[in-house]
Amino acid sequence: MSENLHSPIDDGVTAEDLGHVLFIGVGGVGLSGLARLYATRGLPVSGSELHDWPSLPEIASLGATIFREHRPENLDGVDTVVVSTATPKDNVELVEATRRGLRIMHRSEALAAATTGRRAIVVSGTHGKTTTTAMITEILAKSGLDPSYVNGGEPTVDGASGRHGDGDLFVLEADESDRSFLRYRPWVSIVTNIDVDHLNTYGDIDTLEAGFETFCRNTAADGQVILCADDERTRRIGEHLRADGRDVATYGTAEDATLRVSDLVSTSDGVTYRATHEGRDIGAFSVPFPGAHLGLNSAAAVLAALRAGLAPDAIRAALAAFSGVRRRFELRGTASGVRVYDEYAYHPTAIRSALSTLAGIRGEGRLIVVFQPYRVYRTRDLRAEIAQALAIADEAVIMEVFGPGEALEPGQGGEALTAAVPLPGAHKIFVESWGDVPAEVVARAEPGDLVVTMGAPPVQLMPDDLLTALGK
């Protein structure tokens, strides 16, 4: 594995060159989509996973061999081992792969290899990249272009976070958290917005912004950079790139946006707006999910689809039927008159947006959030902002931080976060044990209330437990 995750891979290596690939931690959000892509491409795939992620049965159904423990013998017959940034250096399979001299690749390197020879539409940004990736993928697929894709979430349309397509377009969500988004050579690069995050990697937001600008500069010479015109930092990147003669398109409510959004309205039925492209009215667009931010996400998708050669009417029809993404305003069920949603938001800006939207559709009941913080460094560095955002809910049940590979020091976890939430003491509680959460929610929830599980990947498993407990 290259120690340099900060520059594009232009070595011509393809996915087929990697032989039999073993993914360490195959069920997690980082690797499950990539494993699905390789398996649907007809390549030999295996993976090891200790946790019962919902993705495992589907990956196995594609012909992949899934090992439920990490063992050196899992490497027999393997040519390439793929890891994520979260893979511990002392993982027994990684250690054995090194001893055997096998090819070891970071997730981003294996994904870059899969894009070789294809036009890559690469979506980045602090917020909205998963949904934007799903929108672009669904628009292209419904238009018959059969794209390949790898997403950080699972589109509701087929439940798969990755799939091989026979078309020449490849849509992928890029991860800025470890700078690995700099490994790609996009045909179209997208930055949805830039917000304070990943300070453990970048130190400050100016350095983070510089990373996004480098990502944009890695776009192919005949490609296009798509940026949000309503975000101060992405606007600045656009000015720099245009000064260098790069092809830049923007979207948003700003009057100078290439794709200008106006008359944006969000209701419980979804989002609608009018769009003007390069000064020409191209009509009304709609997305069947609430949240003004989804309107902006869809505008980025419209620009990408226009760049791919699609007509506005085809794009409009696909967006109106958009299936959504799991863990994004996902209604998981209703029990005893209590609606239970699941939402991936973990950054304060995303938490604020999600809870505000849910508050708008809760009706007369209360909004109760069950929050599992994601990453120790984020919970520590942004504690005040996360706490303030959680206070949009009427009640908060807060779990311990999920931070694989991180050390949890005293005063940095869920209990300290709970104390910082500006809600009355009776309306917030820290629950350390997963098994105690359902009873706590049952004790608080009443018919008409809306409960949302929110935060780190594991909490997506909680709604089933809540619905069972509420239904007793």
Q: Is 129 annotated as a binding residue?
A: yes
User: Beta 270-277 vs 259-267: how paired, if at all?
Assistant: antiparallel
The verdict on whether 129 is a catalytic residue reads yes
130 is in an annotated binding site: yes
Q: Is 127 among the annotated ligand-binding positions?
A: yes
**Catalytic site includes residue 3:** no
Single-letter residue type at 316: R
Residue 39 in contact with residue 45, Cβ under 8 Å?
Answer: yes
For tokens 């959004």, what's the residue? 261
Q: What are the angstrom distances between the C-alpha of 289 and each of 176, 256, 425, 455?
A: 26, 27, 33, 20
Active-site pick, 129, 213, 234, 250: 129
Cβ atoms within 10 Å, residue 270: 18
| 14 appears as a binding residue in the annotation | no
128 in a labelled binding site: yes
Q: Could you tell me which of 443, 436, 444, 426 has the C-alpha nearest to residue 462?
A: 436
Q: Is 126 annotated as a binding residue?
A: yes
125 marked ligand binding residue: yes
Q: Single out the residue of 341, 348, 342, 411 nearest to residue 374, CA to CA.
A: 348
**Which amino acid belongs to residue 155?**
P
Residue 194 token pair: 């830039």
- The three-state secondary structure class of 372 is strand
Structural contact between residues 250 and 276, judged by C-beta atoms closer than 8 angstroms: no
Catalytic residue among 173, 343, 400, 440: 173
Choose the catalytic residue: 80, 87, 130, 258: 130
Residue 201 is given by DSSP the state H
253 noted as active-site residue: no
Token pair 């970048």: residue:
202
Beta strands in 64-153 (DSSP E): 65-67, 80-83, 103-106, 119-124, 148-150
> Annotated active-site positions, please?
129-130, 173
Residues within the annotated binding site? 125-131
Task: Provide the annotated binding site for ATP.
Answer: 125-131
